[in-house]
Amino acid sequence: MNICMTPHPFGGVLAVPSSKSLGHRDLICAALAEGESVVEHISPSEDIEATCRVLRHFGAQIEEISDTLPGRVSYRIQGGIRQGRNPVTVDCGESGSTLRFLIPLGLLTGRTVTYTGRGRLVSRPLQPYYAIFQSRHIAYQTADDGGLPLTVTGTLSPGAYTLPGNVSSQFFTGLLLTLPLLTGDSALYSSTTLESASYVGLTLDTMARHGVQVEEEKPGVYQIAGGQSYQPGRYEVEGDYSQAAFWLAAGCLGHDVKLTGLRRHSAQGDEVIVDIIRRMGGRITEEPDGLMASPSALKGTTIDAGDCPDLVPVLTVLATAASGTTHIVNAARVRLKECDRLHAMAEELNKLGGRITEEPDGLIIEGTGQVHGGCVQAWNDHRIAMSLAVASQIAEGPVQIDGAECVRKSYPRFWQDVAAMGGTYTEEAGSDE
């Protein structure tokens, strides 16, 4: 699907989609609890569907039920990992969270599990797990290039585990979710400075709400008591700061945008978007029922993306709209997402007249205030497509975004919400060639 955006400011009131990061974690913890749980207020997406699909293969019964909020669903879950002997193949779609969170859990099933996927997920790094498999004598087989499909046979034993902290925090989450269920105690260490530590904090916070405790001596050092169990219950998923970032940026570039459904002082690391925008001169005010972003004169700054990599695409748009130079640093891992997001944002915004220079671990953005129109690519990456939609507000002519359907991965209603917030676009089918 190709979307052609006519430059027009966004504005209005919007209920923010639920946190996809929390949705994954709440669903997994509920699926690991013996008994019935309900997880409420989840915004449907392909990634959430992938996690439910794999958890069903592992033994959880998951039923979608109605929700009290429009555009959201709840899930009734009869939890518990089920042992089995027959091999099983599970489809993780394009969800890196699903794959990396659930590989360790698959070792609790007693089955040979084959993990498949699509798109760039097939080649996203899994070496930290391979190193653990080798040291623990867990049998595994990959495709010739080391990617998916991945077949794993074996069991996970308690003990000391070490992971690199500069690849992805998702490996830490996968082990932290699983190790408390083993019979003995374990420890988990990061061999480097732990990047995206806030995402691990989100995992620990979610686990605690579901009845499982992990002692964090410091970021990257965790003591994990074995023999614990997740508790069933009713859990609500809060609004997503990763998705809110697009609308907060839009409000600074267009008309007032008010967002509801966000919890202030959240465990979500991407809440830092509020502080970053304010540091750039953006006007964001707190209201009793939400946050308001208002048109602002932005200025360049230095942004450390080590703990907020998902914000880099939309921050690149804000930096292009700002005066002066913005330097995004510590963002090398952004190259390992659904696409190489550093290259993609530089490539596409430069097509529109931006002035962006790539560095190995970041971007230098010279603010131009405006861009001209043109045709850009979404790179099969939801965050690229949504960021380019925000960029259309500062364009002098129409911006055509090819491959715009990729927003289904995390935010299927995005284009509907764009229209509801005053965005003007036409839609046409893309070519298969």
12 a known binding residue? no
310 a known binding residue? yes
196 a known binding residue? yes
409 a known binding residue? yes
53 a known binding residue? no
258 a known binding residue? no
141 a known binding residue? no
25 a known binding residue? yes
Q: Which residues contact 177 (CB under 8 A, 6 or more apart)?
A: 25, 28, 29, 32, 101, 104, 105, 203, 207
How many helices (H) does the chain have, and how many strands (E)?
12, 24
169 a known binding residue? yes
d(CA 433, CA 429): 12
Torsion (CA) 295, 362, 128, 311 in degrees, nearest 10: 0
User: Is 145 noted as a catalytic residue in this protein?
Assistant: no
d(CA 187, CA 185): 7
Selecting among 26, 47, 310, 402, the annotated active-site residue is 310
383 a known binding residue? yes
234 a known binding residue? no
416 a known binding residue? no
Taking residue 136's Cβ as centre, other Cβ atoms within 10 Å add up to 14
d(CA 105, CA 100): 10
- Residue 395 gets which letter from DSSP? B
d(CA 370, CA 354): 8
Contact (CB, 8 A) for 281 and 297:
yes
21 a known binding residue? yes
Region of 2 please: left (phi>0), alpha (psi -120 to 50) or beta: beta
Binding-site sequence positions for phosphoenolpyruvate: 20, 96, 124, 170, 341, 383, 409
Any idea which residues carry the catalytic annotation?
310
Binding-site sequence positions for 3-phosphoshikimate: 20-21, 25, 168-170, 196, 310, 337
Binding-site sequence positions: 20-21, 25, 96, 124, 168-170, 196, 310, 337, 341, 383, 409
